[in-house]
Structure 1
């Protein structure tokens, strides 16, 4: 099985529309116990990073989101 490739670049609008989905994917990774270094190699992380670099005042860096969501998941348990 080969790794997926992404040929078409997404627009900022498309990334913004999918933001809740990327956050949900990151939350699932955290709940499953994935480390930050492994999470940083995922598609959702790269899309969140792109959003942060495009609109830094509106979207947090994925690393900051990872720690915030980690704390949220730990307190919910």
Structure 2
């Protein structure tokens, strides 16, 4: 968590697509929500949502959307 304090909001925002891609990959690989919640991408998505709540959805919401998409593609 120490590295998070050094990131600027701009750096977090620039990484948003990467964090979402990582979240999708974790879901596709069958990781549990509990395991995903311990990742750096989850921490960064949480930090972004807390910093700019009108611009970014919560990681829980993103997880639900991506999980539904992954499940639909697998069906």
- Alignment CA distance shift 1:6-1:52 (3 Å): same
- Please name the residue that 1:25 is paired with: 22
- Please name the residue that 1:13 is paired with: 10
Number of aligned residue pairs: 73
- Listed one character per residue, the Cα deviations across residues 6-61 of structure 1 (whole Å, up to 9, x for unaligned) are 37620000000010000000000000001111100000000000000000111111
Q: What TM-score, normalized to structure 1?
A: 0.88
Greater displacement, 19-28 / 58-67: 58-67
Aligned-partner Cα distance in 2 for 1:49–1:31: 20
Structure 1, gaps ≥5 residues long: none
- Please name the residue that 1:71 is paired with: 68
Task: Select the structure that is richer in helix.
Answer: 2
Partner of 1:18, secondary structure, is helix
Q: What TM-score, normalized to structure 2?
A: 0.91
1:56 aligns with 2:53: yes
Q: CA RMSD in A?
A: 1.4
